[in-house]
Structure 1
Amino acid sequence: MYAEFDLTIPADLPEAIRALGAAGKRVVPLSGGTNVLVDVRSQRIAPDCILDLNRLGELRGIAVDSGRVTLGARTTVGDLMASGELARHAPALVQAATVFAGQMVRNAATVAGNIACGSPAADLVPPLLSLDAEVTLSSVRGSRTLALADYYLGYKSDRREADELITAISWPVPGANSFGSFYKLARRKGDAITVTAVAVSIGIAGSRCDRARIALGSVAPVPMRARRAEAMLEGAELTPDRIAAAAKAAMEECSPIDDVRATGEYRRHMVGVLTARLISAAVQAQK
C-alpha cells in the first residue's frame, strides 16, 4: 500500500524548483522512480508531495561543448548506453550502464536518481568519480556546483538541501592519453546489486602516469576515491611493482562490511585484484 501524498507535475524547470521549495512540505523529486517508488511503498520515506519531473525535457540529454561533457539530470541509463560521444569520452560510464540492473530499469533510471539515492553500491557513481564529475544543484536561490567527490556526507546523507534539485552532471573531456574502465563484481550478470566495483581513469605521458583516479563502490558507506593509491601512481612509471603497491593501498583505504552478498574480507581482496587488473589494462592500451 502506498502512503498518501500529493502529486505535482510541473511544466518547466522554474515551476519545479518553486514547488520543491514549498514551505512546510517534504517534497520528493521523481523521474525514473526506480528507487523512490520502492521507498514510498515500503514506507522508508513518507513524502507530503511527489514532484514528477517527467515533462521537463530540458533536464534530459548529453552535450559535449567547450571541453566539457554535460548530462542532464534526467538522462537515463539507456541514454548512456546509446551515446557514441560517451563511448569516446567516458567508456567507464558506458560500461557501468551496460551492467546496471535490467533493461526495463535502465530505460527508466536516471543519472541524478542514481546519485541522489545515496547507495554505496550506486553503479554510476564510481565512473563519474573517476572522471572528476561535478553536480549542479538548483533552487530558488540560484545554482551551485559541487565536486561529486565532496557530495556525500555519509551513508544516505549528502550536501543537497531539501529545496535543491540536481539539474546537471558534468566533467572535463579526458585527454587523448587517458584510459578509463569499470568493472562490477556481482553474484550474477543481470539485476544484481554490486558486491565490489572499481573504476579507474589513468593518463599516461611518455612512460609515466600524469593522472590517476581510482574510485570504489560497495566497499565503504559511500562510493569513494582511493586517494592514497592515486598519489602512489601519479608521476611514477607504471611498473608491475608500482601497480601492485597501489592496488594494496586501495585495499587498505576501503572499509567494506559483511552482508548477504559477500564478506568484507572478500570485498577488500577483490578491490586489490580489480584495481591491479584495470590499471594494467590501461598500460597495455597505451602501448
Structure 2
Amino acid sequence: MQSLQFAAPTSLAEAAALLGGSDNPKVLAGGTDLLVQMKLGLREPALVVDIKRIPELGEVSLGADGLRLGAAVPGAEVTANADIAALYPGFVEALGLIGSTQVQGRCSPGGNLCNSSPAADSVPAMIACGAQCNIYGPNGMRSVPVEAFNTGPGRNCLAADEILVSLEFPRPAARSADAYLRFIPRTEMDIAVAGAAVALTLDDAGVCTAARVAIGAVAPTALLVPAAAEALVGSKLDDAALAAVAEAASAAANPISDKRGTAEYRRKVVGVLARRAALIAQSRAQAEE
C-alpha cells in the first residue's frame, strides 16, 4: 500500500502544479464518491488535492447571461436557491436526487460530472440546459460542452494536471423550461436504470422553437440526442411528435443488461421518460405566460 499525501491549495495554479507533479493524484471536492471508492479499495491515490479552498470553485453567480456554478459548490446550496430553481427546474430536481440530505451537503454538480458515472443524475439535465465546462490547466482556461466531458465509465477529458473550475448555463429564453425524470427500482437513493432530460422553448402560439434532449444510464456516457430534439421543434408536442421523441431516445440508447434491468427494458424505458419529460417541460414553459 502506497503512502498517501494530502494538499489543500488556495489557487488554480497551485492545484494544477500539484496534480501535474504526482503520478496518481485525485481531486477532493465533497468526497461523496472518492472517499467511498478509497474505502472500498477501488481508488488508491498517492495524493489527494482538496480544492475547496480555491475561491473560484465555491462561487455562484446568476445574472443576465445565465448561471455560473463553481465546481465545488454543494448540491444543497444550489437546490435551496429559489432563483436558480425558477430558471432551471429540471437541473435542480436532478441534482436534488443525488443521495441523502447528508450527501447533499457535500456533493457537487462538478463532482457528479467528474466522477464520470453513466448513471449520474445531474449530467443529462446539464446537457439539456446546454451547460459548458470551464477547465483550467497549465495552458490556461478552455471550455467544453458537458456532453463532451465524459469519455466513458469513470473516464473524462481532463488531463492529469487539469481541473474543472466551473459550469456555465446559458440563461433560458422566454417561455423556456426543462425537466428531468429517472427510473429507479426503489423510491429514493438508488442509481438510475434510465434517465432523460428535456429543455425546450415555445413561441406565443405554443410551437416548440428550440429543444435539447439528453439521456443517461443507457450508454457509456450521458448522451445528447439531436434526433429527439428535432422531433419536438416545429410541433406543439402532439402525439406524433412525442412518439418520435420516444423512438429517437430509444434508438440512441446503447445500454447493458445487468441485475437492475435488461438492455431491451432500458431502451424502452428511456423513450417513455423522454416523452414524459418533454410534456413536463412544455407545461412549465406554458406556465410562464
Q: What's the TM-score, normalizing by structure 2?
A: 0.93
State the distance in 1 between where 2:62 and 2:188 align: 30
Q: Secondary structure at the match of 1:29?
A: strand
Pick from 102, 111, 135: which aligns with 2:100? 102
Pick from 133, 136, 143: which aligns with 2:134? 136
The question of whether the paired residues in 1 share the 8 Å contact of 2:95 and 2:109 is answered with no
Pick from 26, 29, 33: which aligns with 1:28? 26
Who is 1:192 aligned against?
Answer: 190
State the distance in 2 between where 1:218 and 1:129 align: 14
Quick one: structure 1 residues 100 and 18, their matched pair in 2 at CA, closer, same or farther if it must change by over 3 Å? Answer: same
Runs of at least 4 residues off by over 4 Å: none
Which structure 2 segments of 5+ residues have no match? none
Who is 2:239 aligned against?
Answer: 240
Residues 33-69 of structure 1 deviation map (CA, whole Å, 9 limit, x = unaligned): 1111222223322222110123234311321134121
How does 1:149-160 map onto structure 2 within 5 Å?
149-160=147-158
Who is 1:270 aligned against?
Answer: 269
Deviation at 1:244, TM superposition (A): 1.1
The question of whether the paired residues in 2 share the 8 Å contact of 1:99 and 1:184 is answered with no
Q: Secondary structure at the match of 1:251?
A: helix
CA RMSD, aligned part only? 1.7
Who is 2:218 aligned against?
Answer: 219
Deviation at 1:145, TM superposition (A): 0.5
1:172 aligns with 2:178: no
Q: Secondary structure at the match of 2:111?
A: helix
Who is 1:181 aligned against?
Answer: 179
1:119 aligns with 2:117: yes
Which structure 1 segments of 5+ residues have no match? none
State the distance in 1 between where 2:196 and 2:175 align: 20
Letter in 2 for 1:171: F
How does 1:3-152 map onto structure 2 within 5 Å?
4-22=3-21, 24-152=22-150
Letter in 1 for 2:200: I
User: Percent identity, aligned pairs only?
Assistant: 29
Who is 2:208 aligned against?
Answer: 209
State the distance in 1 between where 2:8 and 2:155 align: 26
State the distance in 2 between where 1:265 and 1:101 align: 27
Letter in 2 for 1:20: L
State the distance in 2 between where 1:283 and 1:54 align: 38
The question of whether the paired residues in 2 share the 8 Å contact of 1:201 and 1:214 is answered with yes
